[in-house]
Amino acid sequence: MSLFVFDRVLAAYTMAIHVLFTYWAISLPFFIVTAEYLGYRKNDPYYLALAKRFAVVMAVLFAVGSAGGAAIAVEFITVWYKWMYLVNELEIMPFVLEVLAFFTEVIFLALYLYGWDRMSRTTHMILGLMIGAGSTASAILIIIVNSWMNTPSGFNVMNYINNGVLTDINPVSGLWPPAATAEVPMGVAGALFVGFGSLAGYFSLRKLFSKNLTHDDVEYYNRGLKLSIYGAAIDAIFLAWAGDNAGKTLYSVQPLKLATLEGLMHTSRYAPMDLGPIKIPGLLSLLVSWPPNPSALVLGYSSFVENVRDPIWWLSHAAYDVHAALGILGAIVFWILALFTYYGHKLNVKFLGLNNTLENKIPLAVAFIMGWLQLVAWESGWVAAETGRQPFVIWGPMLQTANGIYTIEAVMWTNEAYNNNPIVYPIGIAIMTVLAIAVIGTIYMLKKLFTGREISKDVASITPTFSSGFTAQAPPVKTMSTHEKEHLGGGMNE
């Protein structure tokens, strides 16, 4: 395998593993804190048991995810050092701020884990929210760097392309490059949706296939499933807007990438969109334009010179179709599940078992399958986004040629960015091996966490009491009359 291909495979492999952990880092803190709040608010030990066990899960996933991030950092300064040079000169500020966000996440994770029963409940939940804030900020800042690669800013782009000289450098302007308007909302909304969907898949799996479930097991899984379904359904609203916004932003700032993802070969008005085997004329034009216009002109590959077209456009297009189809289907499924979970006892719709989504096998199976398919959607979305930028590492401005068609003035081509030193082979193989071991070890550790201790013991160890700021839902206490006490016997301890 040539170094050019090996370097790209290494980058894809490392990032594909790392993004398996990023969505947990964003979604789990909010799931855990919500469960903790509900445990205190409802005086419910099952919610608190959820929060405590998944806090440990969060720590394990955070540790392995950090290892993946460290591996990527090593690659930046060895395999893609030419790219890193430009980032260091022009776009280093998001990386610096990301380190601060990472420290925030680490510090508050440690305080949260240590703080159980050692500080006020309100303070403890604020610490949990700070974990989520730190991880979300960290993700946003990394996405901003990716956005800068798609729409570079903060320097005189054409002067660098023509003369190789960096001038008019303004690092602050690179803190929100144009593509960030599409990528940041999509990344955050997608991470939350995949996280909640995966949790729904896990709890559904336990309900479907676990044998001899106790009362505590059922109550515990039901609360986790309900919370994850509601979380996915609420975030699906944000995700729907983010997807629509991403299409409109690409139409404005990266029409070639939009054509790649949609597989649009010919520039046209009333540009069609393929929904499986069905082609709907004008739908793509309608969705990407603002105000919506079914006759809007959408640039296809026919409007661009051949050497800037994506050589693997078919992969980008196929991955995007998988991503979009599973995302839309998942949103619809979780909206329906949330509706019938909340109103099912009132609506009493027995069709497909929707009258009891937490117990009937069909809705449980659907939640299990669709929840874990969101992981496929997450990975395929990343593949679509990254391969859709080919053949560039750092994009450039779109210019019209004398023939009336367009070209892209690249800041950095892919074949300019990679390291052709053979030392990359052992470094890359070592990184791949360590990450594979880390993933296997994570699966083993999570299995031990979920099976090593009975849920009933977790529930029995929790005796929630309420401090100020929460309204206890305790049952009313009946005061016995003297006659009742005498009837029960005078030996009762009053």
pLDDT digits (tens, 9 = 90+) for 282-331: 999 999 999 999 999 999 999 999 999 999 999 999 999 999 999 999 99
Whether 355 has a pLDDT exceeding 60, the answer reads yes
Show the DSSP H helices in 121-214 as ranges: 121-150, 157-163, 180-209
Distance CA 460, CA 46 (A): 10
- Residues 6 or more apart whose Cβ sits within 8 Å of residue 64: 21, 438, 439, 441, 442
Examine residue 185 and say whether the peptide bond preceding it is cis (omega within 30 degrees of 0): no
> Do residues 449 and 52 lie in contact, with contact meaning Cβ atoms separated by under 8 Å?
no
491 — pLDDT class (breaks 50, 70, 90):
very low
Q: Which one has a higher pLDDT value, 486 or 98?
A: 98
Distance CA 185, CA 164 (A): 33
492 DSSP 8-state letter: -
- The answer to whether the beta carbons of residues 183 and 147 sit under 8 Å apart is yes
| pLDDT the model gives residue 153 | 93
Give me the pLDDT at residue 463, please. 61
- Say which residue the tokens 């996915």 belong to: 232
Query: Tokens in use for 366?
Result: 């659907």
Tokens 């409109």, residue located: 248
- 470 or 421, which is more confident: 421
Average pLDDT, the chain: 90
Is pLDDT at 492 greater than 70 in this prediction?
A: no
Predicted local distance difference test score (pLDDT) of residue 233: 97
Q: What band does 117 get if pLDDT is binned at 50, 70 and 90?
A: confident
Sign of CA dihedral 46, 51, 55, 61: positive
Separation between Cα atoms, residue 357 and residue 372, nearest integer Å: 17
pLDDT over 50 at 447, yes or no? yes
Cα separation, 445 vs 12, in Å, equals 25
Q: Identify whether the C-beta of residue 240 lies closer than 8 Å to the C-beta of residue 331.
A: yes
Report how far residue 51's alpha carbon sits from residue 58's, in angstroms, rounded to the nearest whole number: 10
Using alpha carbons, select from 70, 54, 76 the residue that is nearest to residue 17: 70
pTM: 0.90
Give the integer Cα–Cα distance in Å for 32 and 25: 11
Res 327: pLDDT: 95
Instruction: Count other Cβ atoms within 10 Å, centred on residue 341.
Output: 22
